[in-house]
Amino acid sequence: MIPLVTGGRDAHSATYCPPPMESRSVHVPVLLSEVLEALSPARGGTYIDATVNGGGHARALIDAGAAAHLTVLGLDRDPVLIEELREAAAVEIAAGHLELVHSSYAMLTEVAHGAGIFAADGILFDLGLSSNHFERSGRGFSFDRDEPLDLRFDPEDPTVEPAAALIRHAPAARLADIFATYGEERYARRIARRIAEVRGRHPIDTATALRDCILAALPGPARRHGGRSVARVFQALRIAINAELTALECVLPQIPSLLRPGGRVAIIAFHSLEDRLVKQFFRESARTDSLRRITKKPIRPSSTEARENPRARSARLRVAERPEIT
């Protein structure tokens, strides 16, 4: 696996300005009814939303289990989203239904134990990024916006460098490796060589500058669908910068011991590499009887949801359960 990207002398070189607090989540929770059915919140109890984001899934869980005084612990790496949700969900927080923690889910066991949770009824992961990051984070997740090329989920983390720093100093071979491994991009080497040429003349420090560089690197026929290559390269950079697969590999083994017998974990993945890790872990856990697979094949969005929310099209939901003690 490509090593985790950590900060160095360039870690703080990108300028980040958070959006105003009055802005609100634009993220639509994916596979919502399927998640509620899988976790059965009407049973009450304690749940963990390890990627709480704008709170869509968490608040739906609370609403569905209100009669049983259901509580949710929500985590997110993005400090802006956590603070906005603290304000938006003030009623749920005051009523004791919701607790929020700014943290990576890689630290799930430590955070859960710190909140007094040792046996959760359900755990949810909605991997990847959200509409909030695309639409209003100001960190360059959308390649159609002239924003700083940051791509960090947590711009306050001093150990993670922004994407612009990686683009500036990484050897072309390393960039090509990232684009091919995390983006499965056919023209990874061409794009990396082009980046190395352009950065020698001027900085590539905005999302649109990188987009234009990628498009210019593609052979003529491929430019007709160049947006696909751009999306794959941005995805690859984001995964590398935030060490997303490393975090997922770290948290998966923590899940069984955090679930009560009969408790369930639901994981929504959007990237084939993420989904493969989840699939393999569930399969291995089934062999050791630490988890029982509920879904042999992933649950996909309905045609209606995919049409109404195009960003849900690649979503894959897998569910597993900790076996009851016999």
> Which CATH homologous superfamily contains domain 161-241?
Putative methyltransferase TM0872, insert domain (1.10.150.170)
pLDDT at 19: 38
The Cα–Cα gap between 4 and 8 comes to 12
- 312 CA to centre of own chain: 13
Q: What is the reported pLDDT for 284? A: 98
3-state secondary structure of 47: strand
Amino acid 144: pLDDT: 86
Per-residue pLDDT at 69: 80
Type and span of the H or E element at 320:
strand 316-321
Q: Among all chains, which residue has been given the structure tokens 């072309």?
A: 172
- Assess contact for 111 and 253: CB atoms under 8 A: no
Give 165's contacts (C-beta < 8 A, 6+ positions apart).
7, 8, 10, 11, 13, 14
Q: Tell me the average confidence (pLDDT) per consecutive run of 10 residues in the chain, 326 residues long.
A: 35 35 61 95 86 94 80 96 95 95 98 97 92 78 90 93 97 98 96 97 96 95 91 96 97 98 97 96 97 96 92 94 88
pLDDT of residue 12: 32
Are domains 32-132+246-321 and 161-241 of this chain identical in fold?
no
pLDDT for the residue 204: 97
Domain ranges within the chain, ordered by starting residue: 32-132+246-321, 161-241
**Architecture in CATH of 32-132+246-321:** 3-Layer(aba) Sandwich (3.40)
Q: In the sheet where 71-76 sits, what is the strand order?
A: 98-102, 71-76, 46-49, 120-126, 259-269, 316-321, 292-293
- Check residue 224 and give its pLDDT: 86
